[in-house]
Structure 1
Amino acid sequence: MKDYGLYFHIPFCKSKCRYCGFYSILHNEETEYAYINAILREIKTYKGLSIDTIYIGGGTPSTLKLQNMKVLLEAIYENFVINLKEFTVEMNPESVTEDMLKLLKDYGVDRISLGIQSLFDHVLCLLGRVHSSFQARRAIEMILNYGLELNSDIIYDIPTANHDFTLNTLEILTNYPIKHISAYNYSFDTDFLSEYKNTDAETFFNDVIDFLYSRGFLQYEISNFAKNGKVSKHNTKYWKMQDYIGFGISAHSMMNGEDARIRWCNKGTVEEYIKGQYIIEKYEVPIAECFIEDVVFGIRMVDGVNIESLKSKYGSEVVEDFMKKIVFLKDENFICYERGCLCLTRKGQLYLDSVQQYFWDLFYS
């Protein structure tokens, strides 16, 4: 039986961060209760699936009332065949509590992804985050004291913020027994700070990679660094094009078939989702297009995309023709070939979006 990954989108936040482009709404207890019931309804349509990874994200899942979180966790165990390898829940520092951590651990959660972003109050204030550096450190200690694995999210190139604050944040974090750090570049999904797009991204990016490497963290994906092999098993499914099902509004899903890949997304608002009036936007990705998806997503991984595996799935002629067309990227040091894999160089990682777009344009030209 095939094992799936499950993703649950909890769209509630205590406040909306100024830079955030993810779908979320301000927390409301009445809406929360109705929304969880709507997720239970959707869960039943996939009853009996075998699953090996679970990720509850948002939004801020830790804003949920304990009882509602318990109802969701119980429904997962009641409706799916559990072969669990990893169970992650996103939390923000201000909503980490002993009671929530105990509940999560009791139901098999073994990994917390904590939205820290910075450990300096003036930077957090700039971003519109509602937690303080003290709350972040306290949350880290509570999570580790519960014996849970911890991923810490940071943003490494926040416009107008001195780069030293990023490196100092990493210095503090790596003094804890944390084994995973996600370091993201600032996203201009909103207009906030959009006038400051000309930051020294290359220096910042290289500094972060080099610093984390010096502390024993190996980069395994563009934005993700792990110590002692503690990679995110669930997120790796996305990059390796493995099957996953998303629940909740704005959640995405993907299933591989013999002749096509099926993708779908729950589109609409929280209110429409609760009423069952949302749109399930579904489309098939032809097998020929699956090839370029495998490359575009897989190249995010530092190990790259195995060329022989591509040939086995899509035919030698398709792969070799593509390789001839991307010689320019190799000549310009954006890509390289290592251990039989197509990989990004450090320069290619810095220009990931452009490299991926180049691949898409080649495929459709």
Structure 2
Amino acid sequence: MLGIYIHIPFCKQACHYCDFHFSTSLKKKVDMVSALQNELFLRKEELQNQVVETIYFGGGTPSLLTNEELQQIINSVYNNYQVVENPEITLEANPDDLIQSDLSPRAESRGLFESYKEIGINRFSIGIQSFFEQDLKLMNRAHNVQEAKECLSMATSHFDNISIDLIYGIPNASNQQWLENIEMALSYGVPHISCYALTVEPKTTLESFIKKGIVEDVDDEMAQEQFQLLVGKLESEGFVHYELSNFGKPNYFSKNNTAYWQGKHYLGIGPSAHSFNGQQRGWNVRNNAKYIKALQKNQLPIEWENLTTTDCYNEYIMTGLRTIWGVSLTKVEAEFGISYKKYLLKQAERYIDQQLLYLNDDTLLVTANGKFLTDGIASDLFKLNL
């Protein structure tokens, strides 16, 4: 099985913390949709004898596309690839787009949700981020709290497979506020919640504000406290903490993202999108104009990197440790060799002694105390390409 990720590189405005690739100009939207369709056509030979299980519209803000544009792209997938009977088709969306669409004003939003169903969308990932106005303003989100609540009320009345994003570790946001954010999310009955620590990425507006003293720096200790509160609260409500940043009720894990973490192949379509075929990692040009120009000439604007055994081992360690499935020692030995297994066990010793990692039969897993430190622990288990 395989997943297709489609990057929609447009946003209404730039969030202060975001370093993803996007443009706030929609002038090239029509050309972009055409280019995405052409890339899907030109790359169909890569996936011979593979079946598409998930289609994920990410970004950027995919909900800025019209239903007709989304339908055109989905049709291109079906026309060029083998697709399972009932694929998971996810649309990332911002609340304001779902209740103030140019196609469907507030009074007609009910029809908008039904039309999403008609074109095949069966899962939403909604960027709420916070239910506090001061947080949304600090992050420069395009929606307000009332719009977030209206959106969730309507979305949950039409769809059951909904995920929302929340951000913790926001400067001046107390633990109590964070708990209220979680409680508000739970009140809508969504079966999946993705939560991310606010990070200060280079060259973002947030980094500039912190350097100028306009905004307080991120407090790692507070972020860790809020992470622990998050895990405790959601697990007590029946959510499974199946990946470091993701919590789902049983049968509501993201199939698309789970495929990434389990090392399945995926095809990245669109500017800046990444692909993985087991032996190579590829990435498209991070420039809308160059991407469109190349596809208009039937050229693929992608670079490929051949992965070494060590690259594949490191990737497995990083993705495996982040999940409830952990790192299989049998798989490490079978796919990378006995020397890698010995190296892994040696590197893991001190973390096992510190009760940050533990062995469950054949599987290396992160303890509750180690979860927030997972990425740092994983990097210490990496092997260098020598």
| TM-score using structure 2 length | 0.87
Match of 1:135 in 2: 147
Backbone CA RMSD of aligned residues: 1.9
Whether 2:121 is the aligned partner of 1:124: answer no
Instruction: Provide the rounded CA distance (Å) in 1 between the counterparts of 2:328 and 2:186.
Output: 32
Partner residue of 2:292? 274
* Higher deviation after alignment, 239-248 or 315-324: 315-324
1:340 corresponds to? 362
User: Is 2:135 the counterpart of 1:103?
Assistant: no
In structure 1, the partner of 2:256 is 234
Opposite residue 370 of structure 2, the aligned amino acid is G
Q: Secondary structure in 1 aligned to 2:114?
A: helix
Residues 105 and 205 (structure 1 numbering): CA distance in 2 closer, same or farther, change over 3 Å? same
Partners of 1:162 and 1:212 in 2: how far apart?
Answer: 18
Tell me whether 1:25 sits opposite 2:47 in the alignment.
no
Matches within 5 A, 1:198-217: 198-199=219-220, 200-217=222-239
In the TM superposition, what whole-angstrom CA distance separates every residue of 1:168-214 from its partner, at most 9, and x where no partner exists?
A: 11101112221100011002113055451334222111111111112
Shift of 1:66: 2.9
CA-to-partner distance for each residue in 1:213-244, whole Å, 9 max, x for gaps?
12111211101001123111110111111100
Aligned residues: 357
**What's the counterpart of residue 44 of structure 2?**
47
- The answer to whether residue 256 in structure 2 is matched with residue 254 in structure 1 is no
Between the aligned partners of 2:197 and 2:69, the Cα distance in structure 1 is 33
1:19/1:192 contact within 8 Å kept: no
One-letter amino acid of the structure 1 residue matched with residue 217 of structure 2 = Y
1:72 aligns with 73
CA contact (8 A) 1:156 1:163 kept: no
**1:155-166 to 2 correspondence within 5 Å?**
155-166=167-178
Deviates more, 1:206-215 or 1:277-286: 277-286
Contact kept, 8 Å, 1:5 with 1:245, in 2: the verdict is: yes
Question: How far did 1:31 drift?
Answer: 0.8
Maintained 8 Å contact 1:157/1:163: no
Counterpart of 1:197?
Answer: 218
What SS class does the counterpart of residue 232 from structure 2 fall into? helix
The superposition leaves residues 33-91 of structure 1 with CA deviations (integer Å, 9 ceiling, x where unpaired) of 01011111101013374201111000100011232222212222222211144111100
* Contact 2:67 2:116 (C-alpha < 8 Å) held by counterparts: no
Distance change (3 Å), C-alpha of 1:76 and 1:100: farther
Is the partner of 1:12 in helix, strand or coil? coil
The answer to which of 163-172 and 43-52 deviates more is: 43-52
CA distance 1:78–1:100, change in 2 (3 Å)? farther
2:34 corresponds to 1:37: yes
Q: When you count strand as a share of all residues, which structure comes out higher? A: 1
Q: SS state of the match for residue 370, structure 2?
A: helix
1:131-166 Cα distance to aligned partner (Å, 9 max, x none): 111111111122122134100100011112223222
The change in CA–CA distance for 1:193 and 1:304 in structure 2 (over 3 A counts) is farther
Equivalent-residue separation in structure 2 for 1:119 and 1:21 (angstroms): 22
Unaligned runs of 5+ residues in structure 2 are 100-108, 211-215
Q: Secondary structure at the match of 2:238?
A: coil
Which residue identity lines up with residue 157 of structure 1 in the other structure?
A: G
Matched, 1:307 2:307: no
Q: Distance in 2 between matches of 1:85 and 1:66?
A: 18
- Counterpart-to-counterpart distance in 2, 1:289 and 1:79: 31
Amino acid aligned to 2:89: F
Normalised by the size of structure 1, how large is the TM-score? 0.92
Q: List alignment gaps of at least 5 residues for structure 1.
A: none
The alpha carbon displacement at 1:279 in A equals: 4.0
Q: Distance in 1 between matches of 2:315 and 2:289?
A: 33
Which residue of 1 is the match for residue 92 of structure 2?
90
Q: Counterpart of 2:165?
A: 153
